[in-house]
Amino acid sequence: MSNEDAIAGNEHWVSKGDVRLFLWEKRAVAPHRGTVLFVHGSSMASQPTFDLHVPGRPDSSVMDWFARRGFDCWCVDMEGYGRSDKTRPINADIANGADDLAAASAYIQQTRSSGPLLVYGISSGALRAALFAERHPDRVKRLALDAFVWTGEGSPTLAERRKRLPEFLARNRRPIDRAFVASIFARDHPGTAEDAVIEAFADAILALDDSMPTGTYVDMCSKLPVVDPEKIAVPTLLMRGEYDGIAAMDDLLAFFRKLPNADKQFAVMAGISHASFQQKNYKLVYHILHGFFTQPDPVYRG
């Protein structure tokens, strides 16, 4: 099945108080195996991240790939991103993103009678997803955290970013451009993504936004940790790219040890830096995530 077989999507809108949030859905085309909610990061909206189509790159849309394998797939633009409202004078921090996920999950469960969700978050999206799971464990069946950061200790990317903290604190939004998107792929280990994919990713991001909220940057530079592993009760997968400058190995292992549910996994993804689904080794990422989402629950607990 190739990239040309794109699955039709459905747009939805949900209200979080006076704020309207945009949701995008791809329905399963095989026997139903679960419902996935994908959570985007700090510098891009949801559709560019999870429903990207690149000519000559089969299965570039992770939503299409999972839908073909029996999963209803959803993503949501956080407040301040993409097609969701950008009107409130806030910096859209991680806690606000967890509120967005609470609103989105309630809508999905009500609209599709989905039951608990399979939740995947990347980078600051992983922090949003983890905080959401901490607050609403009954809504999460399995939790996958990619490019996650706990305390930030040992992260060279965050060390550099902290130098600009006064700038991020001074405003609610920061400008982005094509060079910024390219820098995501150059800062850790150049060569992990195809140039054509980087360009298509930039096109999709910049078609929706020319600036991004500063809240996740402020949180990741000055307020970590923002989640408590001992309060995350659901089965959890930590995914770490070999070259990722955000997710320091020792920091993640310390977090992993404290997760109370024995149904947990730690996966290192070879040849990958930060934006997993846009990397040359993206099929490896799909395989790891699919394996976790289809894993049977333990029969015996002891």
State the pLDDT confidence band at 2, using cuts at 50, 70 and 90: very low
Query: What is the chain's mean pLDDT, rounded?
Result: 96
CB 38 within 8 A of CB 286: no
For residues 44-57, average pLDDT: 97
Distance (Å, whole) CA 160 – CA 93: 20
DSSP assignment letter at 144? E
Residue 66 pLDDT > 60: yes
Q: What is the pLDDT of residue 31?
A: 87
State the pLDDT confidence band at 302, using cuts at 50, 70 and 90: confident
What is the percent of the chain with per-residue pLDDT over 70, rounded to a whole number?
Answer: 98
257 Cβ contact list (under 8 Å, min separation 6): none
Show me where the domains of the chain are located. Answer: 9-293
Residue 123 pLDDT > 90: yes
Q: What is the pLDDT of residue 6?
A: 79
Residue 103 pLDDT > 60: yes
CB 275 within 8 A of CB 184: yes
Instruction: Annotate 16-44 with b (16+ C-beta within 10 A) or e (fewer).
Output: beebebbbbbbebeeeebbbbbbbbbbbb
pLDDT digits (tens, 9 = 90+) for 125-150: 999 999 999 999 999 999 999 999 99
Asked if CATH classification 3.40.50.1820 holds for the domain at 9-293, the reply, yes or no, is: yes
Between the two ends of the chain, the Cα-to-Cα distance in Å is: 42
pLDDT digits (tens, 9 = 90+) for 144-190: 999 999 999 999 999 999 999 999 999 999 999 999 999 999 999 99
96 Cβ contact list (under 8 Å, min separation 6): 78, 79, 90, 215
Distance (Å, whole) CA 228 – CA 254: 12
**pTM of the model as a whole:** 0.97
Q: What is the pLDDT of residue 115?
A: 93
Structure tokens at 186: 């150059």
Residue 193 pLDDT > 60: yes
Cα 20 to Cα 9, 12, 23, 78, 220, distances in angstroms: 19, 10, 10, 10, 26
Q: What is the pLDDT of residue 3?
A: 42
Distance (Å, whole) CA 114 – CA 203: 33
Q: What is the pLDDT of residue 30?
A: 81
pLDDT digits (tens, 9 = 90+) for 77-100: 999 999 999 999 999 999 999 999
DSSP assignment letter at 81? S
State the pLDDT confidence band at 44, using cuts at 50, 70 and 90: very high
